[in-house]
Homo-oligomer: A and B are copies of this chain.
Amino acid sequence: MAAPKNSKWFLEVLGPGEGHLHAIRSVLLSKDSPFQHIEVMDLEDYGRALVLDGKVQSTQHDEFIYHEALVHPVMLLHPHPVRVMIIGGGEGATLREVLRHRTVQRALMVDIDREVVDVSRALLPELHGGAFEDIRTELVFEDARRWLEAHDEIFDVIIVDLSDPIEEGPCYRLYTREFYQLVTSRLSPGGMISLQSGTVAPHDLLNFSAIYRTLQTAFKTVLPYTANVPCFGLPWGFQMAGKEAVPALTADEYHERLLRRVQGELKYLTGAVCAGHLALPKHLRDRIERETRIIKDDDPLYIYH
């Protein structure tokens, strides 16, 4: 061990036997909200990072990968998304990407934790990029499940941008069969959702495959895909799901829609990447097909099992 230039380290526990270490340049904020512990740090290699309950959510240098991968594939697959709901997404970057779509007239974001949004406004300006001020945006601070139960508004696309499910954390009830059935009921015909769904590392696949199987109880089409967000420390899984059958697009068709519908230039995605994402490695395909676990309100799933 040589004497390091940096003496401060962020240790993200990835699982019982694995961690990701980052040199910290500075800590901008560390506080408890009513729902979770919120930290903003400036990391040597990743720039400003939002960390919730010890798990990195987004960093300045690679957030474009996560947010473009979460938002655009589903928005492009949908024929004409006008009304979009975001569940979670506190840092505002998912909203920022949704608002690039010229078709969008309403973007409702429901996050349980007002303080994450306040922190993002104050410290992570590149992440929201002014999206909270867009005239099409409505921000609601409430448990998204309760909001959906209380309202019967209909959306074309719902993007579920949540932390991983942690016992006593704010999110684990937003990963169950009952929740997905509620979500489906609020989609217009042809409506779709997308969500991040945990790591796809072979040694830690339970979350990804159980979400796949659970989505199938509520959606006709489920399309798992992968992307790689370096700050997460492990390769990552995403899923899109459609209320009805969803015709596949070629790389060129994605590209054409992208050019036509999306304002500004993307940094990560191309039409070819959208199509390429969906080529699921064989071991993932095998695993999700063998999965039998369905996540239920009375039998939830937590990471750190």
Q: Do A233 and B235 have beta carbons less than 8 Å apart?
A: no
CB-CB under 8 A from A283, the residues of chain B are 64, 267-268
Q: Do B226 and A228 have beta carbons less than 8 Å apart?
A: yes
* A13 contacts chain B at the CB level, 8 A cutoff: yes
* A26 contacts chain B at the CB level, 8 A cutoff: yes
Bound: A9/B27 CA distance, A: 11
* A277 contacts chain B at the CB level, 8 A cutoff: yes
* A260 contacts chain B at the CB level, 8 A cutoff: no
* A122 contacts chain B at the CB level, 8 A cutoff: no
Copies in the complex: 4
Q: Do A270 and B251 have beta carbons less than 8 Å apart?
A: no
From A38-46, A91-99, A174-182, A214-222, the one touching the partner chain is: A38-46
CB-CB under 8 A from A11, the residues of chain B are 4, 7-9, 21
* A135 contacts chain B at the CB level, 8 A cutoff: no
From A144-152, A188-196, A201-209, A239-247, the one touching the partner chain is: A201-209
How near does chain B come to A118, taking the closest CB pair, in angstroms? 18
Q: A6-B1, A27-B8, A203-B46 are in contact. Are A20 and B233 (CB under 8 A)?
A: yes
Which residues of chain A from 149 to 202 have a CB within 8 Å of any chain B CB? 166, 199, 201-202
For residue A204, which residue of chain B has the nearest CB? B45
Most buried by B among A17, A30, A51, A304: A17
* B39, B45, B272: the one within 8 Å of A203 (CB): B45
* A15 contacts chain B at the CB level, 8 A cutoff: yes
Q: Do B18 and A23 have beta carbons less than 8 Å apart?
A: yes
How near does chain B come to A120, taking the closest CB pair, in angstroms? 18
* A104 contacts chain B at the CB level, 8 A cutoff: no
CB-CB under 8 A from A24, the residues of chain B are 8, 27
Which residues of chain A from 233 to 258 have a CB within 8 Å of any chain B CB? 233-235, 251
Q: A7-B11, A54-B3, A279-B273 are in contact. Are A202 and B61 (CB under 8 A)?
A: yes
CB-CB under 8 A from A10, the residues of chain B are 7-9
Bound: A268/B284 CA distance, A: 8
For residue A8, which residue of chain B has the nearest CB? B10
* A266 contacts chain B at the CB level, 8 A cutoff: yes
Bound: A62/B204 CA distance, A: 11
Bound: A25/B30 CA distance, A: 8
Bound: A185/B6 CA distance, A: 40
* B4, B8, B228, B270: the one within 8 Å of A41 (CB): B8
Binding site for B on A (CB under 8 A): 1-13, 15-27, 30, 37, 39, 41, 43-46, 51, 53-54, 61-62, 64-65, 166, 199, 201-204, 226, 228, 230, 233-235, 251, 266-270, 272-273, 275-283, 285, 304
| Apart from A1-B18, A3-B53, A228-B235, 5 more pairs, CB < 8 Å | A2-B4, A8-B30, A18-B44, A26-B27, A228-B228
